[in-house]
Amino acid sequence: MRLFVSRDSLGKLAVDCRVNGENFAAVQDILTAYASRWPERGLEFSHSNIW
């Protein structure tokens, strides 16, 4: 599983979750809600690989 969440300097969010390379859209809303709570500090991202 791979998770990626980012917020650019303008506040636009980008989220992606892949399981075995396939899109796993079921968690996009959860990841978006997570990133929307980040304090405003410009460009930020979080990336995790879970084996």
| DSSP SS3 for 49 | strand
Give the phi and the psi of residue 41 in degrees, each rounded to 5.
Answer: -135, 20
Mind listing the pLDDT tens digit for each residue in 7-50? 999 999 999 999 999 999 999 999 999 999 998 888 998 989 88
What is the reported pLDDT for 51?
A: 76
What is the reported pLDDT for 50?
A: 85
| DSSP SS3 for 18 | strand
